[in-house]
Structures are given as structure tokens and as C-alpha cells.
Structure 1
Amino acid sequence: MTNTVARTQIDIAVCTFRRPELAETLHSLALITVPADVAIRIIVADNDVTPSAEALVNQMRPTMPCEICYVHCPASNISIARNACLDNSTGHYLAFVDDDERVSRTWLVQLLDTAVTTGADVVLGPVRAEYTLSAPNWMRRGDFHSTRPVWVDGEIRTGYTCNVLIDLTRPVVFNRRFNLALGQTGGEDTEFFRHMHADGGRLAYAPDALVFEPVPEKRARLAWLAKRRFRSGQTHGRLLSEPGQAGSRVAEIVRATAKSGYCAIASLMLLGSPVARSRYALRAIMHAGVVSGLIGVRELQQYGAATA
């Protein structure tokens, strides 16, 4: 009789919408280091009206060292795609990366090691932006597109899906799904992890679990960053206005308005320092978004515009 050792299954989810860069993402996943006691499977969730990514996935299958599960989950709502990944995952863990990213060789090892050593329900990794030479110098110097978690009083209270590992066996994760109402605005991941943390979930950080994301020309603009920051602020403001939050809505509006004004003035005073000026200006816009969210203004649409 042959003894077999149970392997830990990790599903890696990639939500996609009409991005040819998906091929590079899958190629990078084919090259990752996988521990001997781990089995991986990739889930590609195609969020287009038609199954436009299916041909690319089928073309990539012979080059992949693991199974690829293709799921067509229309349409133009990122929460539908993320929930399809949760519904189709059969692993102990589920990782998310974006369809325009490339993972480092030790990405999965770093996430898993951190999950095991910390016992956290969720582990986040950094996303390092890669700029072209055509991007503004202040943007490259200030690195405004990279993503890392934010600590509040020594803990991480929310997260993101561009580089994350979720332990699906934890009670705090059971039956938790992304909000369909936020599937075109964005912020669905912020809400997902914020609510998880509020219910007792713990989030950890693996600083060496690197993922790389090219910054295309259309995103290498102050206007794109401003829209992104404003929508992020709107999500934060809406979460602050939920029942059970500590502060009153009026107090939060006053606080966010004051912060926005302070940052706007600081930006004007730092005209000679492009990086600092832009950082304060974007923070002013973000806090203005918080005010917008607190008073109930609908969040800006980021997804689905191509099929609207």
C-alpha cells in the first residue's frame, strides 16, 4: 500500500475583461515556485459579455504546469467575476491577482509562509508599479501607482484583490461575497476586507510577495490618479457612514472637509516641489471624496464603461 501525503490546494484567481496582457500574467504564474506539498490551480473569470478570453486561455493551456479553470461570468461587473472565483474555488486558499500583472517567482511561497507563520485569515502583498520613460518624472519619483496596505493603530483594517491570499477554511470567510452594487464603481474589495476585519478577521502583510504592474499611458496622468483617489475616498466615506461606526456623520464630514482644505493649501504652498505638491493635491481630492461618500453621492463608475 502506497502512503500518500495530502497536498494543500491553492487556487489562483485572475478576473479578466478584454485584456491581452492576460497572457503575460498566466505566463508568470507558470514560472512560480510551488512548494512540494502544494497543488495549484488557476481560475480565469472572464467578465466580458461574450467569452472573449476563452481562446487565449485554451491557447495557453499546453504551456501551463497546472490546471486552468475557465469561467465565463458576464458582464462588466467585477464583483460578479470575483464571486465566480469564490464559487468555483475548491482549495484551502484562494489568491487573487489582476490580469495586467506579473508575479515574482517566489510570490506564492512568500504569501503562504506569511499565512502559516502569522495565522492570519488574509495575507496581502505589494504591487510594484512599472513606469515607462514617457510617464511624468514627478510620478515616477513619487511612485503614485504602487499598492501597499495601510496600517491604522498597528493593524491592517482593509485590503485589496490585486495581490492577496485568502484562507477559505476560516469561519470569517464562509459565504462572504463581494458587493454587486460596487461592481462597476470599484471599492468592492475595500468593503469586503473591511467587513471581514470588523467581524474579527486578521490581515497580515508579506512584503516580499512581489507583483509587478505596468502603468499604461492612459493611467500615467494626474487626472486618472485624481479620479481613482476621489472614488477611493467615496468608498471610505460610505463605510464610515454605515451603522455602528464610532463617529457621527456630521463630525466625520467636518473632519474630512478640514483635511481636504489643509491638503489643498499645502499643495499650493509646495508648487516648487512637484512630488510633494501632487501628493498633497491627491490627498485633498481623496478627502473630498470622503465627504462625497459621507453625504451619499453615488461612487464614480470605473468598470463596465466599455459596454455601457
Structure 2
Amino acid sequence: MNTLVNILLCTFRRPEVVRTLESLATMDLAADVLVRVVIADNDDTPSARDVVAAVTDDLPWPVHYLHAPARNISIARNACLDAVDADADFICFLDDDEWVVPDWLTQLLATANHTEADAVFGPVIASYDDTAPSWIKAGDYHSSYPVRRNGQVETGISGNVLLRWGADVPWKNERFDLARGRSGGEDTEFFFRLRRAGAHFEICDAARAWESVPDARLSLAWLARRRYRMGQSYAASATTNVARAKLALSACLKAGYCGIMAVFNAPIRARRFRWLLRGTLHVGVCAGCLSLRQSEHYGGSP
């Protein structure tokens, strides 16, 4: 019996999507694994149409391009979900600035089948060039590795994930939150919601995706904004007032500890920055628990 996988890509003014598609063309798959690629262009105009068309003829998989404007990543993600084949067994999400290794999808499917997981998250590994500061390279701050908390995978990001999408899954009609589509964190909240619906998550470290890091992201200020937003997104794990209060208290204590450690490590820049960024994450959790407004990170030029 064949396994049909739809690979979903959202793009916004990134020519790097060509490299993403070219890496998919190198996938080494079993004969019974069928692939279809869906690309949602989130720009105001269909700016990626010609870019995608220029490479699709050379790909071994059918590619469906659609225009999903509004500069809101949730709109694009939902448009991808609406375009999934009715008989698809799995869907995958990738970002438009990533590329994958040849056995990427094979590893994800193997983990899903072996563990009976509903979603399998793989790492997104940062690729730095020579312009990156040494402290950023050493800290590897731009990579995203799925984690376990108390032995469980609670949530994940959409940069590298396989998700069951058969007719009997209870989350078939779930969609990404439009209110988070410009601030980010819509994927974290989405997978928290799926877990509450009964989804079981696992990790596959071998299913690697790579991501280049542009110069605009090579600063402490950018990393701090990202960590703060990540903290706000994680607050979606608390769904009651009591849970939010407990999470906020814990995050405040952790933020204070990180601030103290940053002072103690002030003479060593790499250590000082590491503690500052950890503290910023916890401050973001507090802000999320208090439902403070999230700043917009999407919709401008990449």
C-alpha cells in the first residue's frame, strides 16, 4: 500500500525557496512513498509564482502553487492545509529558507511508524557564514532542536515536522491561529492544541533540515526579540488562570536567577549573553501569561 505525503511550504519574498525545492528533489524514498508539494505564497502579489515555476519542471514530484496573500503566516499555513490531498496519510511542514538531507523524509516516516507517533519533529540546524560573530556560532543560537520536558514532547515548530493526516485523526479541521500570524508562535500554539486533542509527539534527530542565517539576524537584539517571542508563545501551554499564574511565577523566578547569573558572568561576553537570552525567554513567558501584546515579526521584507 502506498503512503502519500504532502509537503507544505509557505513562502514570502525568499528566493531561497528554490534551494528548498532542489533539496527535496534529492530525497531517497521507498517506491511506495508518494510525494506532493504545496507552496503558499503569502506576498501581496504572486511574486513567487515565476520563481517556483522555473524549477518545478525539474522536480520528480507534482508541485501545487497557490497565492495566499495578506502577509500573515497563519493564512498561508491554513491555505496549505486546505489544499492537502483528501487521501494524504501524512503532511510535512518546511520553511522556505531550509534544505534537507536525502533521507530526511525516510527518517521521519520510520520514526512515526516505529513509535506510532502522530507528529515527529526534527532539528533545524543553523548554517553560519564567516560574518557571524564567534559567540553566536559557539552558542548556536539560531538552531532549533525539539526538546522533551518531563519526558514528554509538549509542542514543536513547523520548520521540520511530519504530522499524521488520515481521515480518522481528530485534528483534521484544526487550523493555525490568525491572531498569531504576524507575531509568530502560531505553530507552537497549534501543536499545543493538537496535543490536548490526544496527539502523541516524538523526536527524530536524524531527520535534519538546515537553515542559512542572514546578517540581519546576527545580533544580540534580534536574538533577544526572538527569545522574548518564544517565551510568549510557550505561555500558550497554560490554559487556565491558575496554570498561567503558576507558570508566570516560575518564569519570574527563573528570569531573576538568569539576571543574577548574567551579572556574575559580566566579564565574559559569551556567558553574559547566554544568561541574558535565557532570562529574556522567561520574561517573555511572564508577558505571555499576562496576555501582553505581541510585536509583529512577519509581513515585512525578510
TM-score interval, smaller chain? over 0.9
CA contact 2:177–2:186 (8 Å) conserved in 1 = yes
**Using the alignment, how far apart are the partners of 2:233 and 2:73 within structure 1?**
16
- Kindly provide the amino acid, as one letter, of the partner of residue 53 in structure 1: A
Query: Is 1:13 the counterpart of 2:13 in the alignment?
Result: no
Q: Output the amino acid matched with 1:119.
A: E
Matched-pair contact (CA < 8 Å) for 1:126–1:148: yes
Q: Distance in 2 between matches of 1:72 and 1:80?
A: 10
C-alpha distance in 1, partners of 2:149/2:170?
21
Deviation at 1:57, TM superposition (A): 1.2
Counterpart in 2 of 1:262? 257
Give me the whole-angstrom Cα distance separating, in 2, the residues matched to 1:248 and 1:214. 37
SS at match of 1:11: strand
Give the TM-score, by structure 1 length: 0.93
Q: Contact between 2:189 and 2:236, CA under 8 Å: does it hold in 1?
A: no
- Other-structure match for 1:178: 176
Which of residues 193, 198, 201 in structure 1 aligns to 2:199?
201
Q: CA deviation at 1:248?
A: 4.4
> What is residue 67 of structure 1 aligned with on the other side?
62
Q: Give distance in 1, aligned partners of 2:80 and 2:292.
A: 30
After superposition, the C-alpha distances for 1:25-54 in whole angstroms (9 at most, x for unaligned) are 111111111211111111111001111100
Q: 1:237–1:290: 8 Å Cα contact kept in structure 2? A: yes
Which of 80, 92, 96 is equivalent to 2:93?
96
In structure 2, the partner of 1:39 is: 34
Q: What does residue 132 of structure 1 align with?
A: 129
Aligned-pair distance for 1:291? Answer: 1.4
Amino acid aligned to 1:198 = R
Q: Name the residue aligned to 2:222.
A: 224
Superposed displacement of residue 274, structure 1: 3.2
Q: 1:155 aligns with which of 141, 148, 152?
A: 152
Deviations 1:253-286 (A, max 9, x none): 3322111111011012112433332221111111
Deviation at 1:62, TM superposition (A): 1.5
Structure 2: state its 5+ residue gaps. none
Deviation at 1:107, TM superposition (A): 0.4
| TM-score between the two structures when normalised by the length of structure 2 | 0.95
Further displaced range: 267-276 or 15-24? 267-276
**2:286 equivalent to 1:291:** yes
Structure 2 CA distance, aligned partners of 1:285 and 1:203?
A: 27
Deviations along 1:52-78, one digit per CA (max 9) or x if unpaired, are 100011111221111000011112010
C-alpha distance 107-238 of structure 1, shift in aligned 2 (>3 A)? closer
Among 146, 159, 171, the alignment partner of 2:143 is 146
Per the alignment, do residues 62 and 252 of structure 1 end up closer, same or farther by CA in structure 2, a change over 3 Å counting?
Answer: closer
Residue equivalent to 1:23: 18
Residue correspondences, number:
299
What CA distance in whole angstroms lies between the structure 2 residues aligned with 1:172 and 1:226?
A: 36
CA displacement 1:136-181 (0-9 Å, x = unmatched):
1011011111111121110100011000001101523221111111
Secondary structure of 2:57's counterpart equals: helix
Q: Which runs of 5+ in 1 are unaligned?
A: 1-5
1:129–1:306: structure 2 CA closer, same or farther, 3 Å change rule? closer
Describe the shift of the 1:203–1:44 C-alpha distance in structure 2 as closer, same or farther (beyond 3 A): same
Structure 1 position 252, deviation (Å): 3.1
Change (3 A) 1:158 1:64: same
Q: Residues of 2 paired with 1:261 and 1:69: CA distance?
A: 49
1:303 is matched with 298
Whether the 8 Å CA contact 1:238–1:296 is kept in 2: the answer is no
| One-letter identity of the residue aligned with 2:45 | T
Tell me: CA distance 1:249–1:157, structure 2 relative to 1, closer, same or farther (3 Å).
closer
**3-state secondary structure, aligned to 1:223:** helix
Aligned partner letter, 1:79: S
CA RMSD between the two structures:
1.5
Cα distance in 1 for residues equivalent to 2:7 and 2:245:
42
Q: Which residue does the alignment assign to 1:3?
A: none
Paired AA for residue 13 in structure 2: R
